Amino acid sequence: MRFMLAAAALCIVAVPTAAHAYCRTTTQQLPPDYRPTRGCFTKGLFLFWRNACVSYSVNEAGSRSIPYEEAKRVIDDSFATWMGATCADGDSPGIAVSNIGPSKCGEVRYNGDSANQNVIVFRDDGWPYSDPNSTLGLTTVTFNADTGEIYDADMEINSSARNLTTSDQVPANGFDLASVVTHEVGHFFGLAHATDARATMFASYKPGTTALRTLSPDDIAGICAIYPTSSLRVVSAEVSANQTIVADACDPSPRRGFISECAAPKTEEKCAATPRPTASWAASGSVALAIAGILVARRRRTRTG
């Protein structure tokens, strides 16, 4: 029995590291010189949503160039692309996602003691981070640093000074919203940048194309590896010896319930003093306008309750 258990654990470890090109986001910040083409960054604990169901909200303001209803359609389709994937066992990924309704709040935030929203918001009036010209989107994930459980994920789309389009015929200098969102949805679920250039999760986007709308087998292997069934999540060995934990029963509400408004004022200052703060992480897909486009991974760490 002991031997069998050991063998099983070995298989779980050995298969993904040998055969895949997808990478999982971990609780540890990427080193500044990290490049995914060298292989996955594996320090820290794997991130995952524990519940069988999660939800998101599109900010009601939409974008000046893309009205709310149009943005919602594209974003819903992008999430559906991931949910419609077929895993190796013939089933869909073991997590369900739904649009829980528009969000009045357009802030990236996590309320540790009150209701939340996993918002998708457009930034029309400038990009509030560095690299405004080379960043297309940013997904900020708040998680439990001791387990890797995701508590909240907020996605920002850089619609300032960007020729974002929802057309199937993307102009040569255009940026396909569905491609950008489909890539960011991978981050929403806990995937990091892939090492395979054919993957939607690879860190580059070629303007004028819809290439990232379609998942590669590697992207599908990635989400199926985290969410093999609706009742199991694959986690780091430090969290569970057999690398799986039982998922929580389906409740798509954000942590501590859904609220459309921003709820309580931000409380980072107060929470920063707590002994075990939750870390927050952000991955960004960015594209250089010049050549084919190199996406840069960037992470941000903030302290929240």
Chain residues binding Zn ion by CB under 5 A are: 283, 285
**Nearest distance from residue 192's CB to Zn ion, in Å?**
8
Closest to Zn ion by CB, 44 or 285:
285
Closest to Zn ion by CB, 51 or 78:
78
**Nearest distance from residue 291's CB to Zn ion, in Å?**
18
Closest to Zn ion by CB, 215 or 283:
283
**Nearest distance from residue 141's CB to Zn ion, in Å?**
12
Rounded Cα–Cα distance for residues 297 and 14 (Å): 26
**Nearest distance from residue 71's CB to Zn ion, in Å?**
19
Rounded Cα–Cα distance for residues 61 and 154 (Å): 15
End-to-end Cα distance, the chain: 42
Concatenated DSSP letters of the chain: -HHHHHHHHHHHHHHHHHH---EE-BSSPPPTT--GGG-----SPBPB--BSEEEEEEBTT--SSS-HHHHHHHHHHHHHHHHT---TTSSPPS-EEEE---BS-------TTS-B--EEEEE-S--SSS-TTT--EEEEEEE-TTT-BEEEEEEEEE-TT--EE--SS--TT-EEHHHHHHHHHHHHHTEE-BS-TTSTTBS---TT--GGGSPPHHHHHHHHHH-SBTTEEE--TTT-TTSEEEPBPP--SPTT-B-SS--SPP-HHHHTTSSSPEEEEEEEE---SSSS----------EE-
Closest to Zn ion by CB, 74 or 199:
199
**Nearest distance from residue 127's CB to Zn ion, in Å?**
15
Closest to Zn ion by CB, 131 or 248:
131
Structure tokens at 296: 């840069």
Q: How far is CA 194 from the centre of its chain?
A: 13
11: number of Cβ within 10 Å: 10
**Nearest distance from residue 35's CB to Zn ion, in Å?**
13
Closest to Zn ion by CB, 189 or 259:
189
Closest to Zn ion by CB, 279 or 297:
297
**Nearest distance from residue 183's CB to Zn ion, in Å?**
6
Q: Which residue is nearest to Zn ion (CB)?
A: 285
Rounded Cα–Cα distance for residues 201 and 20 (Å): 13
Closest to Zn ion by CB, 246 or 292:
292
**Nearest distance from residue 286's CB to Zn ion, in Å?**
8
